[in-house]
Amino acid sequence: MLPNILFKVISNDPVNKSMVVKFCRENAQKSIDEYRSYNISYRNIDFSSPKAFEDSLRSRGNPIIKKQLLNEPALEINKGVPEILSTDINDYIGKIVCTTSDTSGAMNKVEL
């Protein structure tokens, strides 16, 4: 699930039926103005209501936000320590541990 998405319409070109828009996450580490602008065609935008308009722009922004999220560097203060080869909780106290969200790995066998 993505965090709230912000968008900012920079300009509108009714002649060419397009607009220039910036997107970012609500919890982004920098201002929306520092993000790239995208030319968005009216073709896939729903103008039937304000909610429909915002929803259709959000749909256009989702892949952009995912890319920003994946390309955004981690804060130096949040860098994890190398792998801890222990199950002793005391070895983890005060340390930042980075884990992946990859769930395709093998599961441990549990004897019952």
pLDDT at 87: 83
Burial class (CB within 10 angstroms; exposed 0-12, middle 13-18, buried 19+) of 65: buried
Tens digit of each residue's pLDDT (9 = 90 or more) over 25-79: 998 889 999 999 999 999 989 999 999 999 999 999 999 999 998 888 877 888 8
Mean pLDDT in the chain?
88
Return the structure tokens found at 62: 């989702």
69-94: average pLDDT: 84
Q: Counting every residue, how long is the chain?
A: 112
